[in-house]
Structure 1
Amino acid sequence: MLTIAIVEDDDGIRLAYSDLMSSYGYEVRTFGSAEDFIASACQDLVECLVLDQQLPGLSGLELQARLKRIQCTLPIIFVTSHDDPVTRAKAFENGAVHFLNKPIDADELVRCVADVLRRGR
């Protein structure tokens, strides 16, 4: 079973993403912060990371940079309600596969996850 990690600080959104991905047969691991994700040491156990940009503590971009420093090639789908050209460019420059604006369309998220999993690491 393919495993997806979701890092989202909003409990309701995190649960909605998790329920959606579970309904498509994915195993889902959820985290309320970047620090919780790092502490889990599951980076090598998941195939895709759905990552909120605006998080308490480390931001999504900061987590992405940290993963890149340790040569973790985990594909990332960014989601944010604070889209700006600089953040978007930096995310893609550092390897993000998709960048979605909240509120996101459920079908679009599912398509992006499927795309990431087709591509692999």
Structure 2
Amino acid sequence: MPNRNLVFVVDDDPGTLKGVKRLLREHGYDSVLFPSAEAFRNYDDFDAACCLILDINLNKESGIELRHRLKAAGITLPVIYITANDNPAVRMAALASGCIAYLTKPFAAKSLLEPVGKASAGLA
């Protein structure tokens, strides 16, 4: 059963990981940080969290491709995408992969906290 206050965060930018962790902590959420898609895939308890904040452009991989692999493996964790490289094709691919939010960096705290709150409440 997921911890409704635990959020997974996958981003290859240490500054983003630190900032998102701080924001989540300030609003009562715990987080587990992953600096790469590989580090996240090596984790074994995907159902522990209420949602996943996932960068689209990871060092060697695409967050969207990671999302597809998770779905293929039966992992239905709600996903919030974040990206610094917004374009219509990426946005369409992200939305088509099934996400609860798509945010462009830098984003307002509220725009991240709202979908995290919905996932935490089981509404995502």
Partner of 1:23: 26
Deviation at 1:92, TM superposition (A): 1.4
Residues of 2 paired with 1:58 and 1:108: CA distance? 25
Aligned length: 121
Candidates 93, 99, 110, aligned match of 1:107 = 110
Q: Take 1:39 and 1:57, find their aligned partners in 2: how far apart are those partners?
A: 16
2:63 paired with 1:60: yes
Q: 1:81 aligns with which of 80, 84, 92?
A: 84
**1:90 maps to 2:110:** no
Offset, 1:118: 2.9
Structure 2: which 5+ runs fail to align? none
The more displaced of 110-119 and 65-74 is 110-119
User: Residue by residue, what CA displacement relative to the aligned partner does 1:1-41 show, whole Å, maximum 9, x if unpaired?
Assistant: 52100001111110010011011111110000111011012
Using the aligned pairs only, state the percent identity: 34
TM-score, with structure 2 as normaliser: 0.90
1:49 pairs with 2:29: no
Q: Distance in 1 between matches of 2:16 and 2:91?
A: 21
Q: Is the 8 A contact 1:47 1:120 kept in 2?
A: no
CA distance in 2, matches of 1:93, 1:116: 19
Per the TM alignment, residue 120 of structure 1 is displaced from its structure 2 partner at its CA by 4.3
Deviations 1:18-76 (A, max 9, x none): 01101111111000011101101231111100010010122101110110110111000
Please tell me the residue identity of whatever aligns with 2:81.
Answer: F
